[in-house]
Each structure stands twice: as structure tokens, then as C-alpha cells.
Amino acid sequence: MRQILLHVEPDEKIFAALDDGILNDLEIERNNNLDIVGRVYKGIVRNSVPSINGYFIDIGIGRNAFLRKRDLPADTNITEGSTVLVQVEKDSTETKSPLVTGKIGIQGKYFVMLVNSSYVGVSKKIVDTKRRSSLRSWVKSVRPDGKGIIIRTAAANVEEDVLKEEIEYLDHIFNIISKRSKVERGPVLLYRGSDLIVKGIRDYMNDDVESFFIDDEESFDRASELEKKKPNSLEDRLHYYHGPELLLEKFHVEEQIEQLFDRKVELKSGAYFVIDYTEALTVIDINSGSFKGNGIPHSESAFLINKEAAVEIARQIKLREIGGIILVDFIDMNKKSQKDELLDTLKQAFQKDHNKAVVCGITSLGLVEITRKRTNQRLWQNYFDACPVCHGTGIVLSPESIARSIYHDLQKRKSGTGIKTGITIVCNKEVADFISIKDNITNFETLVNKPVKLEADDSLKWGVYSILSER
């Protein structure tokens, strides 16, 4: 039983899809931090950087985007100061600019239309070879000149007149983009793409959905209009929610979102895994925890835990928007058949992911390598800023280390200009308490041979202190 929800606030929209009450898809759209992936811009080339085979493009968002030379259409030459049509492929991170491509693709429910291309591809998830062949042949016969088509999984069992209607619609969208690009001065946004209402109707509203609840009347009316225009409309499954409880609370979505920020993920068997992030990759480590496999050989219990973890790992990666390189340290298994089945389980679990994820295999160290296309920021980046004290490391200097730093600073001052008067040390209250309890003041006075006062200041950040000379 699948239910989808759209919670709307003045500055935020939260889209959630639940299967039997379990959160399996989540998207968050904020007015001050909109997802720019898929947007098409007319940009201005600000810098050409031959050493990295790319260009920095001003698309008007305050931070130049990066365009790789290989992502330009064939026979396209650009120079500094010229304009170029680009589409955002990946959002920016703390250290990297947005990544854009000159190969434009407009996405619909059944197709992705490629501009300046003749390529016709079929989703690998359509496994029926006859259907793949017939779809490819039919698309080649109807596609507009100069446009390539990628056939999405949703097109597998759809009638040709419906498919043709979408091809015409996507072609119309690009014609509008093309006309605007000729008259607008860059940098300028030409195509915004789909918001959460459109995505919800286009990508999720199908026969599997029992109900789609929306708690904002204006958004509900818009979704109804979009659904009405679809063949085989499911408008009767759309509901305007105005119950006494908040929508996300009623379906226990908020508490499931909060769990996505936990480092430790508990499994039903009592086992668990932990997720750690680095700049370059994400590392996941599975542990047996309180799993009780009474009478089960170790090799079998490890296999059962790993299979359970694999399904939940794929879900967590999708919901947390983890992309790039992912390394998973499963519990050791000796049988090749178990390793092969585990990889198959992982691959099957990622079939539900809208972003491309590739299970690369098991390394010589027994780690499973996964790569997943990164488009948006990780989920936690929508909710948290780096700690101003530890700057995201999760650790701070101990009071003892800060006291030592103060002592070393006094040593430097004494050996330099000398200390001619009494001094006052101003620091965080907890550090001041530690210095007082440990009687470090006596050590300080012995070092400088002058009176030393201690002053606590709650407004000072941890680790910040001042050494003041008395007048």
C-alpha cells in the first residue's frame, strides 16, 4: 500500500512516499535553497582553464559553474566572454561549484529528450527484449529532427498516442527555450524544470498509489488540474488534507526524517550499521550488535545480517541523498555464493532509486564499492550548519589542552618582550573552572613571577581566551 504526501509551508515543501507506512522517497524544496539541478541557463564564459579542460560559467547565481570541455556538443567552440547554453547536472557543495553540461536534456515522465543529438536509448529496467526493440524502432520513426530520445522505464506499457503526445510536449518546451535564448541577455535562467507538485504527479502518481494527500488548497487545486490532463486519470486518489493533526505527524514522517540524521541505524534483527561522511567518500560499517543467531553457524548469521543490512543501506543512501563513492564494510563471508547473492540483493534494492547507482563489486579487502550519481546536497545539509566551535569535526580541545596553550603563550611572552605587570586571563567559564580546580593559577604566577587573575566570560567560544596586561 503506497501513499504519497505533500506538506506545504510558506517557505518549504516536503514530499514523501511511504510503502506500508515506511518512508521510501523524500524530497525537500525550500524557497531560499532551491534545487537547481535540471535548470537550463544562458551563461557567460568567464574563464577558460586549459589545465583542467574546462570553463567557469557565470549562470547568475552568485557562484560560477564548471563546464567540462567534453560536455560540450560536438563542433562547439566557446571563448571567454561568449555565451553558452548549459544545464545544471550537479548542485554545488561546500568546496565545489555547480557542474553544468552543454548537452541539454528535457525530462518527461516517459522520455528524456536530448538536444542536438540523434541517439535513441532504452532504460535497462525494461527487460522484455521485444518491447525494447519495438519501442526503439517506433521512437526513431517519430522523434523530431536533431533530437535524441532516452526511453524511461515508465514507457514500457504505455500506448503510442500517449507517448507521442509527450514527445511533442518536450519538443515544444525546447522550442520555447531556444527562442528565449536568442532574445534574452545572459546570464539568465531559461528553464526551471519541475517542482515537487509536477514531480509528484508525473513520477509517482500511478496504479500503485492508494492516495496522494496535499495539505495546501492552492497546491491541491494545481495537482488536480495536472492529473485531469493525464490519460487514465487517477484524480479520485488525490485528497486535500485538513485534519486536526499535521499531515507529516499523522503518517509519522517527521520522526522518520529525524532518524535519517542518526549516525547509527538499527536493524530489526538487533544488528546495526554506522554511516560516516568524508569529503571524498561515505563509509558504512555493519556490526552484528545484539543479533542472536542461536544454533546458526557464524557464516550463515553473517550472511543473514548482511542481506538485511543491504536493503536498508540502499534505502538510507537514497533518503539521505548520499552520492559519489560509497564503501560498505559487510561482515566477512567465505562462500562465493553468499557474496554473489549479497551483491544481487544490493543491486535489486537500488532498482527503486531514481538516481543512477552502480554496485561495482567486492574489493580485495572485502569492501563493497558503490557509486551513486550525486545531484543534490546531502539531506543533513538542508537542516544543519557546521558547528562554529568544532567546524564540523565533532571534537574540541579539552580544558586541559586550553590551559596548556595559555601556559605556552605566557612562556612566549616572557621570553619575548617580557612581562612587567600583573595579568588577567579571560576565557570560557568551563575552562576557567578547570583552571581554578586544578590550581593552574599558581603555575602561571610561578612562571611570570607576577599576580595572575582569572575571569570567566560566557560569551567567549570554547577555546578562545585573552591574556591582558594590567595598566
Which pLDDT value is given to residue 34?
61
Which pLDDT value is given to residue 317?
94
- CATH class for the region spanning 40-103: mainly beta
pLDDT 10s digits, 74-120: 888 899 999 999 999 988 877 788 999 999 999 888 999 998 888 99
Which pLDDT value is given to residue 203?
85
- State CA 96 to chain mean position distance: 14
For the question of whether the overall pTM of this predicted structure is more than 0.85, the answer is no
The closest of 152, 42, 48, 119 to 87, measured between CA atoms, is: 42
Residue 154 and residue 175: Cα distance in Å, rounded? Answer: 24
Which pLDDT value is given to residue 33?
59
Query: Burial of 340 by CB count in 10 Å (0-12 exposed, 13-18 middle, 19+ buried)?
Result: exposed
Q: Which CATH number fits domain 399-469: 2.60.40.180, 3.40.50.1000, 3.40.1260.20, 3.30.1360.180?
A: 3.40.1260.20
195 pLDDT more than 90: no
More confident residue, 2 or 365: 2
Residue 150 and residue 143: Cα distance in Å, rounded? Answer: 11
Q: Where do the structural domains in the chain lie, given as residue ranges?
A: 1-30+193-256, 40-103, 260-382, 399-469
Which pLDDT value is given to residue 32?
65
The per-residue pLDDT of the chain, averaged, comes to: 89
Residue 14 and residue 260: Cα distance in Å, rounded? Answer: 15
152-161, 245-254, 415-424 — most confident range:
245-254
Residue 133 and residue 255: Cα distance in Å, rounded? Answer: 46
Percent of the chain residues topping a pLDDT of 70: 97
Binned at pLDDT 50, 70 and 90, residue 223 comes out as very high
pLDDT 10s digits, 5-53: 999 998 889 999 999 999 999 988 887 656 788 899 999 999 999 999 9
- What's the topology of domain 1-30+193-256? Nucleotidyltransferase; domain 5 (3.30.420)
Angle at 55 (CA atoms; ends 50, 61), nearest 5 degrees: 155
Region 195-218: mean pLDDT is 90
Strands (E), 186-263: 188-191, 209-214, 238-240
Binned at pLDDT 50, 70 and 90, residue 150 comes out as very high
Report how far apart, in Å, the C-alpha atoms of 251 and of each of 22, 204, 324, 418 are. 9, 18, 31, 68
The closest of 260, 221, 203, 155 to 4, measured between CA atoms, is: 203
